[in-house]
């Protein structure tokens, strides 16, 4: 780990593989300096005490939540992590930008960690297993650890050939910053606080709940080798990702609600996008998997 604060300051803006972090620092610790921006993002939510609230502001926050939740579930997860459908380079880029505006770092970082999660689910190599590392570490702690800051490009070699994706991943604060700037120029501090900070923090914790709660609470239709669960409440909040036991059973499918009664908003939007010709080749759940309950 670099000793100079100035050098570490650079990591806030340029994440070039966090090369200053040395192997001996790759342990279960929190780098408080590195996560100051992340902490400030939470503190800024208190701005609602100052700017107040209105239905308009709540609507702005909700719309940005919905749009970006879809970018995370539909693209960061089902496309970049699992390649469960195909699309053009332009659409891939546009949704990478939208996903990056969620302040959950770049698509390559996100997908690389998630692919490892599926490979090592609920073993000691799963960096966010609540069964091995406790609830809080699984929910949020793992993100604060130097060992998890770098992007392991070997996990996402199918996407590293796109320089535009590597750029978003390297300078992962640019797009969130631009979103904040746009909101501020439209509606001043009230839009910035509600549309950016509140919306992003809520979106962040609900996304993380799939790592924490979805491996703890709910039912298991399939006996997978992990503790993944199906949970209707989380599926509604996360636009379909709460059908997590289904997902661990067959991660390659574009749908996670395997049956018509399992509400999966992300899948409905993906179907619409495929109907419009924007994406294609949505991978289905094989019949043998559906019958394997
Ligand atoms: Zn999982
Ligand atoms: Zn997954």
Summarize pLDDT for 121-143 with one digit per residue, the tens. 998 889 999 998 999 999 999 99
In the reported structure, the alpha carbon of residue 78 is separated from the centroid of ligand 1 by a whole-number distance in angstroms of: 13
Ligand found nearest the CA of 121: 1
Domain boundaries, the chain: 5-290
- pTM to 2 decimals? 0.94
In the reported structure, the alpha carbon of residue 75 is separated from the centroid of ligand 1 by a whole-number distance in angstroms of: 17
In the reported structure, the alpha carbon of residue 219 is separated from the centroid of ligand 1 by a whole-number distance in angstroms of: 14
- The β-bridge partners of 86 are 280
Cα 64 to chain centroid distance, Å, stands at: 15
Ligand found nearest the CA of 127: 1
- What are the helix (H) ranges across 150-198? 163-170, 174-191
In the reported structure, the alpha carbon of residue 181 is separated from the centroid of ligand 1 by a whole-number distance in angstroms of: 34
Q: How confident is the model at residue 59 (pLDDT cuts 50, 70, 90)?
A: very high
In the reported structure, the alpha carbon of residue 276 is separated from the centroid of ligand 1 by a whole-number distance in angstroms of: 31
In the reported structure, the alpha carbon of residue 119 is separated from the centroid of ligand 1 by a whole-number distance in angstroms of: 10
pLDDT at 288: 92
Report the distance separating Cα 209 and Cα 199, nearest Å: 15
């Amino acid at each position: 780990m670099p000793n100079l604060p100035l050098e570490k300051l650079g990591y806030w803006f340029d994440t070039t593989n966090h090369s200053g972090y040395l192997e001996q620092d790759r342990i279960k610790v929190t780098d408080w300096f590195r996560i100051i921006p992340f902490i400030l993002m939470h503190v800024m939510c208190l701005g609602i005490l100052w700017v107040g609230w209105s239905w308009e502001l709540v609507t702005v926050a909700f719309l940005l939540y919905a749009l970006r939740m879809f970018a995370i579930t539909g693209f960061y997860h089902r496309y970049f992590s699992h390649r469960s459908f195909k699309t053009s380079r332009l659409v891939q880029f546009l949704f990478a930008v939208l996903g990056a505006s969620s302040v959950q770092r770049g698509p390559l970082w996100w997908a690389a960690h998630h692919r490892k999660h599926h490979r090592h689910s609920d073993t000691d190599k799963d960096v966010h297993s609540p069964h091995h590392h406790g609830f809080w570490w699984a929910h949020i702690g793992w993100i604060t650890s130097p060992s998890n800051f770098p992007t392991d490009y070997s996990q996402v070699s199918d996407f590293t050939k796109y320089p535009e994706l590597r750029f978003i991943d390297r300078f992962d604060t640019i797009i969130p910053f631009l979103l904040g700037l746009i909101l501020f120029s439209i509606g001043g501090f009230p839009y910035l606080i509600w549309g950016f900070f509140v919306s992003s923090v809520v979106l962040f914790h609900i996304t993380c709940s799939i790592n924490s709660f979805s491996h703890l609470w709910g039912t298991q239709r399939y006996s997978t080798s992990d503790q993944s669960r199906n949970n209707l409440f989380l599926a509604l909040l996360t636009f379909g990702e709460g059908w997590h036991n289904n997902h661990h059973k067959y991660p390659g499918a574009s749908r996670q609600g395997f049956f018509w009664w399992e509400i999966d908003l992300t899948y409905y939007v993906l179907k619409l996008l495929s109907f419009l010709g924007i994406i294609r080749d949505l991978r289905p759940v094989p019949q043998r998997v559906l019958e394997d309950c």
